[in-house]
Amino acid sequence: MKILLTAFEPFGGERVNSACLALELLPERLGDIELARTVLPTAFDLSGEVLLRAMDRERPDAVLCLGQAAGRRCLTPERVAINLDDARIPDNLGAKPEDRPIVPGGPAAYFSTLPIRKMVRAMAKAGVPAEISNSAGTFVCNHVMYVLLHALDRDKSRVRGGFMHIPLSREQGEGRGIPWVETADAARGIAAAVTAAADRGDEPGTI
């Protein structure tokens, strides 16, 4: 079993990205699960391209994309991605789309095909705060999740896919009045979520 994990480069003036920091702490394997990983550009028009190339290269059995979410207190698997780019701030290439469909004529939304409820329970059992989120926003995180699920749906793939947001790290949030989670705890939560997602005994696993 191979799972592709992705995270984003820093954005919005931050020196680091909490999801990327946590990804760096994960081992190459979790038991029988091989972890492939790649860092995506925080840019609307490039992020999906880099993700799809990584999928072609790695041929994973599942894909879990990770992103940073300032203000959140828990690791939050996302339930749904919507077909909309609408940026509050520019991406790292200066793009700031408004009310733009990700795939013109595409479905309004896609649900995650990862077992997000089981992932949350596994993270909670590991002592990591976690809950399901019903909004991935309208920035690059949502864009990547939609591109991923659109590609899997278009190809009628049995590969599972989804997205999970990570709170800020201690170095980002401490002293700023913003919730944060220790990077080691975030990594432990991701590992628990990945292990839960690797169990395909509950197909199709959308919730």
Kindly compute the dihedral angle of the four CA atoms of residues 111, 114, 115, 118, in this order, to the nearest 10 degrees: -120
Our separate counts of H helices and E strands in the chain read 6, 8
Our answer to whether residue 78 is catalytic in this structure is yes
Our answer to whether residue 141 is catalytic in this structure is yes
Three-state DSSP class for residue 130: strand
Sign, CA torsion 124/130/133/138: negative
> Among 78, 98, 171, 182, which one carries the catalytic annotation?
78
SS3 annotation, 135-182: CCCCCHHHHHHHHHHHHHHHCCCCCEEEEEEECECHHHHCCCCCCECC
> Among 65, 141, 143, 150, which one carries the catalytic annotation?
141
- Tokens matching residue 189: 């939560």
Of 38, 54, 41, the closest CA to residue 11 belongs to 41
> Among 165, 171, 182, 203, which one carries the catalytic annotation?
165
- Tokens matching residue 125: 């059992």
Of 68, 82, 42, the closest CA to residue 190 belongs to 68
| 145 Cα distance to chain centroid | 7
Q: Which residues are identified as catalytic?
A: 78, 141, 165
